[in-house]
Structure 1
Amino acid sequence: MRILVWCLVAGVLLGASSTQSFAQVERDLQRIVSQRMQVQIDEVRALPYGGLYEMLVNGQTIAYTDAKGQVIIVGTMFDTATKQNLTERRQRELLSVDWKSLPLDRAIVYSKGNGSRRMAVFSDPDCPFCRKLESEIAGLNDITVYTFLYPIAELHPDAPRKANAVWCAKDPGRAWLDLMLLDRQPPPPEGGQACAAPLKEVAELARKFRITGTPGLIFESGVMVPGLINRVQIEQNLK
């Protein structure tokens, strides 16, 4: 009986020690890899495969490394037993967004058809990929689009002014489409009225959801897609 109790206690202590050592390795890897590779390592976690560790790089990319951070593997990992794409599954988990958590009152809105299918877009008025995305969305029907104005001033210095003008327009949704599809500049606020777009709030929201560039798409299902996708891909995510 004493031997059994000792084995149980030893097992618990060994498990705790192992957990602590894994946590220390994860912290060390986060520091070492970020310094050596000059990238942002957001998360590190041990994997049950060959002593590998998974890293989230720059808020979006999944990469793998060894316990000493000597090598970095960027690519797709499959489970050979289930044939499941483990990298893709993990990316979906990390990039998933609870639709109900979106402050939709901080977005401009436009609808087509019955508007039954919903998506949100983080967009910069001077981003060429964002304009291309709007041309792809233009071919869709029965959709409501919530656009969070996310001008990146470091790339497009005049984008914050345009974003503010769109937000303050009499019909922001129409002003946005006119700008993005027709390059028609929105008028200044009528009568010089005080008006300010919630640009700081949206920027904080983008950081929260790890959206580091534009466009960034969020579908009602919770799926988040960074970057430009075409009309067919949008349709697939709206289903």
Structure 2
Amino acid sequence: MKRFIQTLLVVSFFISASANAELDKSELKKVLMESMPSLVVEEKNISSSEIKGLYEVMVGANIYYVSVDGRYLIQGRMFDLVDKKDLTEEKLAVAKAAMINAVPLEEMIIFKAPMQKYVINIFTDIDCGYCRKLHSEIDQYMAEGITVRYLFFPRAGKGSDSYKKAISVWCADDRAAALTAAKSGTTPPPEKTCDNTVDKQMALGDELGVRGTPMMISPKGYVYPGYMPAKQLVEALSQE
């Protein structure tokens, strides 16, 4: 709990504004965008937080807490110590759910469970060891009723061998079979290219805070980083 409180109190940025002057949402948006031009803030995503004197600002899949005078910005998590809830995580899950559920099914490589009970979206890298381990057990996930929806996130970045393999898999006649072969160590034809969604998926991964692979996101927006055996994942999904 000490670490939680320390995180909550970390002040990440100083924003110039008139001291002690309470700003309305439009004024706060202006201050934020003037101080941090790269930050895209929409007025509809600014709201009062559970703590008096702090605005809550949603930017993509991130939440910031800003003092009502626009001077201080806190980057961290807010906890309700009475109800023992991570208030920030609950709201982030809603935002992440909206983003991941907006991806058209035809832009994913899907391994559908015969008797589907759950769905999990997985950002994957063909050359990632734990991604390969997870995929080697794909039949176990499907047997547990988990439909797996893959999105590409080659960690080495655009232009890397992993990136080229992702494009080649996407451009294959049978994407699922090509992905399975690639994750088994078969190198897909590097010259095979077509219109693809790899860059779009990587950009979405960046927005959602993907830092490593595999990274799993449920349709409810909850994140499960790293490899997780099928039965363990079922237990986690059943408790959402």
TM-score of the superposition, structure 2-length normalised?
0.64
Is 1:28 equivalent to 2:15 in the alignment?
no
What corresponds to 1:234 in structure 2?
233
Q: Displacement, 1:162?
A: 0.1
Identify, as 1 or 2, the structure richer in helix: 1
Letter in 2 for 1:74: G
Amino acid across the alignment from 1:86: L
Conserved 8 A contact 2:77-2:87: no
Aligned counterpart in structure 2 of residue 78 of structure 1, from 77, 80, 103: 80
Counterpart residue number, 2:15: none
Matched, 1:199 2:198: yes
How has the CA–CA distance of structure 1 residues 27 and 218 changed in structure 2, closer, same or farther, with 3 Å as cutoff? Answer: same
Count of matched residue positions in the alignment of Structure 1 and Structure 2: 209
Which residue is equivalent to 2:216? 217
Q: Secondary structure at the match of 2:150?
A: strand
Letter in 2 for 1:89: E
How far off is 1:68 after superposition? 3.6
TM alignment of 1:68-217, pairs within 5 A: 68-70=70-72, 72=74, 74-78=76-80, 80=82, 82-97=83-98, 101-111=102-112, 114-127=115-128, 130-131=131-132, 133-134=134-135, 139-140=140-141, 141=143, 142-151=145-154, 154=157, 157-180=160-183, 182-187=184-189, 195-203=194-202, 206=204, 210-213=207-210, 214-217=213-216
Question: How many Å separate the matches in 1 of 2:130 and 2:122?
Answer: 12
> Match for residue 52 of structure 2?
50
**Residue identity matched to 1:173:** A
Per-residue Cα deviation, 1:6-58 (whole angstroms, up to 9, x for no partner):
xxxxxxxxxxxx997233124314543x47xxx8575544325230122446x
Partner of residue 62, structure 1: 63
Deviation (angstroms), 1:90: 1.5
Larger Rg: 1
Aligned Cα RMSD in Å? Answer: 3.9
Gapped runs of 5+ residues in structure 2? Answer: 1-20
Instruction: Structure 1 unaligned segments of length 5 or more: list them.
Output: 1-17
Whole-angstrom distance in 1 between the partners of 2:172 and 2:209: 27
Deviation at 1:137, TM superposition (A): 5.4
1:95 is paired with a residue whose SS is: helix
How far does the alpha carbon of each residue in 1:45-104 deviate from its partner, in whole angstroms, 9 at most, with x for none?
Answer: 4325230122446x4443434234336252332164x55432222122222237764311
**Matched residue SS, 1:96:** helix
- Partner amino acid, structure 2, of 1:223: G
Distance 1:87 1:24, change over 3 A: same
SS at match of 2:72: coil
* Percent identity of equivalent pairs: 25
What amino acid maps onto 1:234 in structure 2? L
In structure 2, what is the Cα distance between the partners aligned to 1:183 and 1:95? 32
Q: Name the SS of the counterpart of 1:87 in structure 2.
A: helix
**In the alignment, is the contact (CA less than 8 A) between 2:134 and 2:227 conserved in 1?**
yes
